[in-house]
């Protein structure tokens, strides 16, 4: 019974499940249709809250139709509504009607990283004085391993994702969108500094570097294996946004 | 590839980075050209953008509540009138409302 009920909830064309009763004798099929509609609408609303820039880029009608399609195929697996939307970016990438907007999936990826950063754990940055002490032994620097803030994420895109996102935070959105060069490839760094999530445009090489640090590479190794980027500026940005939690010599786990 | 990364160049890079980090916050390269403005939102119209399932948006109880904020274009906050604010305008930090 509950499996059939759940199945029918996500399929607007499926008949009302058998055996439903209403307290006032009204038509159960009609009551069920209201309930079924509310389920999808609430999920679509949740996606609209988490992906406002995607919605602005395609318009509300397109977005709600696309989100409803996603919701029917991917109902929530957790009762935490804030986490509803994992996998939405991949769905957008494969959604044929959106194929004309090749940047849309990456904008969705960026918005999802922002949601993740919002809800990531708190962590206190390493005070600058302690950081300075860790840097005293210059010879040990290449083997230094940085622990980064739990909210920190990077995204490399073949599209101007940061500019597109930023344009929608501007006062005059259409003017800001007009200034976006759609041929630009951009990389983003997402980090929560206090209660604010920052989305910063960084060089592709810097994104590679931070990605390697996140995967546990030591400083020297991460810097050497990344494409060209401004190392002092990147380290300065990490320090300034409170993203460095700990810096300790690499320890081999065997 | 950055083959030239050595202990010495890392030390120099970190030295510069520490100077950058100590620079005033105003020099920060934030994307948004907006600022958080306290005390200018009408009841129930405050912003709170943290994605789905977070429900602080639209929860302010009174007009011009001192600890409720809205995103406004940068530079305009402290020019926006707020009858509850001791300065008479919106503020960049939350404040205790004065009696109207």
Total residue count of chain A as it appears in this document: 254
Mean pLDDT of the region B20-29: 60
In chain A, what percentage of residues exceed pLDDT 70?
Answer: 98
* Torsion (CA) B71, A175, A161, B54 in degrees, nearest 10: 20
Neighbours of B47 (CB within 10 A): 17
pLDDT score for B29:
45
Residue among B5, B25, B33, B51 with most chain A CBs within 10 A, to mutate: B51
Subunit contact B10:A198, Cβ cutoff 8 A: no
Q: What angle do CA B3, B4, B8 make, to 5 degrees?
A: 140
Whole-prediction pTM? 0.78
* More confident of the two residues B57 and A227: A227
Average pLDDT over residues A224-231: 93
Confidence of residue A1 (pLDDT cuts 50, 70, 90): low
Inspect the interface and report whether the beta carbons of A82 and B53 lie closer than 8 Å: yes
A198 touches B25 (CB < 8 A) = no
Residue B40 has pLDDT above 90, yes or no: no
* A12, A35, A41, A149, B73 from A38: Cα distances, Å: 12, 5, 5, 38, 36
Provide, as residue numbers in chain B, all residues whose Cβ is less than 8 Å from the Cβ of A82.
50-54
Instruction: Name the more confident of B77 and B24.
Output: B77
Interface predicted TM-score (ipTM) over 0.90: no
CA-nearest of A73, A78, A70, A72 to A51 is: A70
Lowest mean pLDDT among A5-19, A43-57, A71-85: A5-19
Residue A84 pLDDT level (bands cut at 50, 70, 90): very high
pLDDT digits (tens, 9 = 90+) for A149-187: 999 999 999 999 999 999 998 888 899 999 999 999 999
Residue A135: name the closest of B5, B15, B4, B16 by CA. Answer: B15
- Rounded to the nearest angstrom, the minimum Cα separation between A195 and chain B is 10
> Does B16 contact A at CB distance below 8 Å?
yes
């Amino acid at each position: 019974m509950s499996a059939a009920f759940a199945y029918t909830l996500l399929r607007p064309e499926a008949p009302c499940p058998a055996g439903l009763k209403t307290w006032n004798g009204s038509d159960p099929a009609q009551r069920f249709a209201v309930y079924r509609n509310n389920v999808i609408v609430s999920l679509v609303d949740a996606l609209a809250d988490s992906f406002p820039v995607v919605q602005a880029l395609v318009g509300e009608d397109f977005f709600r139709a696309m989100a409803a399609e996603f919701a029917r195929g991917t109902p929530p697996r957790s009762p935490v509504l804030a986490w509803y939307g994992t996998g939405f970016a991949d769905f957008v990438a494969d959604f044929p009607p959106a194929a004309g907007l090749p940047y849309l999936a990456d904008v969705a990826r960026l918005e999802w990283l922002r949601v993740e950063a919002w809800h990531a754990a708190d962590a206190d940055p390493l005070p600058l004085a302690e950081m300075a002490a860790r840097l005293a032994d210059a010879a040990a620097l290449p083997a230094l391993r940085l622990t980064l803030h739990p909210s920190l994420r990077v995204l490399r895109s073949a599209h101007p994702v940061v500019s597109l996102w930023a344009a929608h935070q501007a006062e005059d959105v259409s003017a800001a969108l007009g200034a976006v060069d759609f041929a630009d490839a951009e990389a983003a760094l997402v980090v929560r500094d206090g209660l604010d999530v920052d989305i910063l445009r960084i060089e592709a090489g810097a994104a590679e570097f931070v990605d390697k640090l996140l995967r546990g590479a030591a400083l020297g190794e991460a810097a050497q294996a990344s494409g060209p980027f401004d190392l002092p500026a990147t380290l300065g940005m990490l320090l300034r946004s409170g993203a460095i939690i700990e810096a300790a010599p690499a320890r081999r786990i065997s | 590839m950055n083959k030239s990364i050595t202990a010495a160049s890392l030390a120099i890079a970190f030295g510069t980075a520490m100077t950058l980090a100590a620079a005033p916050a105003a020099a920060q390269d934030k994307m948004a050209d907006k600022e958080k403005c306290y005390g200018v939102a009408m009841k129930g119209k405050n912003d709170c953008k943290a994605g789905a399932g977070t429900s602080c948006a639209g929860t302010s109880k009174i007009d011009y509540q001192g600890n409720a904020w809205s995103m406004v274009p940068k530079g305009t906050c402290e020019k926006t009138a707020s009858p509850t604010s001791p300065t008479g305008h919106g503020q960049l930090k939350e404040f205790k409302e004065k009696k109207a």
